[in-house]
Chains A and B, each alone.
Chain A
């Protein structure tokens, strides 16, 4: 990552990550990029893809991992803590409240319909986010090939991540070293 002169306060990190946590229905992948790249512009498209990629191949929650690195970049350890607290705390509070009420609203048909639509929408947003990143980053022929391999292994073959990722990383590195854009 390039060095940055941009100042991002602890408060802004917390607010931004809380926004990701609170707006991320059906997973936070789509809204995280929206907040980090488009709204607050903490990272460029490429920086975000790099940080997210590291967050994905490491164990743990992808976006939480990514925000740990972003928080550290701007405010050190405190920044990381602000980000994790921001992304986790507000959703957990809502979660406990909803879990207490669950039996009362589980029977409401409207809730089920809304959930069905929201899940379909969230899926589209995640896929759309990936396509948008691909479009903006122009990964080149080798990059495209790596993208297709990842999609094929996970979505098409349904191979488990824990087996795919340790193979995909060295293969991608090798392909990039041999034929990738310099």
Chain B
């Protein structure tokens, strides 16, 4: 049985972080690191980076890093507590806002809000892509892969998994061939 204190700390920490994760989970990862490593001392920075790497290999929303920390700290109960803590408040808010938006329907005010919100959404997603591209940059090969994927997504309706797999395979070949040095 997991220590109730740890369970409570998991819930409190991630419920709090869920409220500051505005613009997505990626923005909150530094806060998660700070809480888990510096304040609560559940693991060192290196272990945290290992967990983070695992979430990068795993498909799914970035928020699963929190589930993994819960699992590491408190097994299945920890996983459940951490996951619920990070999800419940934002999901309730999203639900409420969604209901309000549906009720406002076609009113003038809602359409104004929509016309302001749509470009914000587009801007944030492009900015997110640029941030990711910067983080993923390991020389000309990765830049070329990024650019090709921009073009594929823009011009085709293909399932993204094909281009992603192809990019991974090309990188393996390039890496072993010694033609490219992913520094």
* Residues in chain A within 8 A of chain B (CB atoms): 1-3, 21-31, 34, 38-39, 46, 49-66, 68-69, 72-73, 77, 80, 84, 87-88, 90-92, 94-96, 98-99, 102, 106, 109-135, 137, 139, 142-144, 146-151, 153-155, 160-162, 164-165, 168-169, 172-173, 175-177, 180-181
CA distance A144 to B130 in the complex (A): 17
Q: Which residues of B contact A56 (CB under 8 A)?
A: 23-24, 120-121, 124-125
Q: Are B122 and A125 in contact (CB under 8 A)?
A: no
Can you sample 21 A-B contacts with CB below 8 Å?
A2-B105, A38-B157, A49-B117, A53-B117, A58-B90, A61-B24, A61-B61, A72-B102, A73-B102, A91-B61, A95-B58, A119-B56, A123-B146, A126-B128, A128-B154, A130-B126, A139-B115, A146-B116, A146-B120, A147-B119, A155-B134
Q: Nearest B residue to A161 by beta-carbon distance?
A: B23
Q: Nearest B residue to A47 by beta-carbon distance?
A: B114
Q: Are B129 and A123 in contact (CB under 8 A)?
A: yes
Q: Taking A52-B125, A60-B87 as given, write out 13 further A-B residue pairs in contact, using a Cβ cutoff of 8 Å, ordered by the A residue number.
A: A21-B60, A50-B114, A54-B97, A56-B121, A58-B97, A87-B61, A120-B167, A123-B136, A124-B146, A124-B150, A139-B118, A151-B130, A164-B23
Q: Are A169 and B118 in contact (CB under 8 A)?
A: no
* Residues in chain B within 8 A of chain A (CB atoms): 18-27, 50-51, 53-64, 67-68, 71-72, 79, 83, 86-87, 89-91, 93-95, 97-99, 101-102, 105-106, 112-138, 141-143, 145-154, 157, 159-161, 163-164, 167-172, 174-176, 182
Please pick, from A24, A61, A110, A124, the residue contacting B59 in the complex, using a CB distance under 8 A.
A24
Q: Are A119 and B132 in contact (CB under 8 A)?
A: yes
Q: Which residues of B contact A147 (CB under 8 A)?
A: 119, 122-123, 126
Q: Are A91 and B58 in contact (CB under 8 A)?
A: yes
CA distance A137 to B121 in the complex (A): 12
Q: A114-B168, A143-B119 are in contact. Are A88 and B128 (CB under 8 A)?
A: no
Q: Are B27 and A161 in contact (CB under 8 A)?
A: yes
| Least Cβ–Cβ distance between B71 and chain A, in angstroms | 6
Q: Are A68 and B160 in contact (CB under 8 A)?
A: no
Q: A53-B120, A162-B23 are in contact. Are A120 and B91 (CB under 8 A)?
A: no
Q: Are A88 and B83 in contact (CB under 8 A)?
A: yes
Q: Are B20 and A59 in contact (CB under 8 A)?
A: yes
Q: Are B120 and A150 in contact (CB under 8 A)?
A: yes
Q: Which residues of A contact B87 (CB under 8 A)?
A: 60-61, 64, 84, 88
Q: Are B91 and A60 in contact (CB under 8 A)?
A: yes
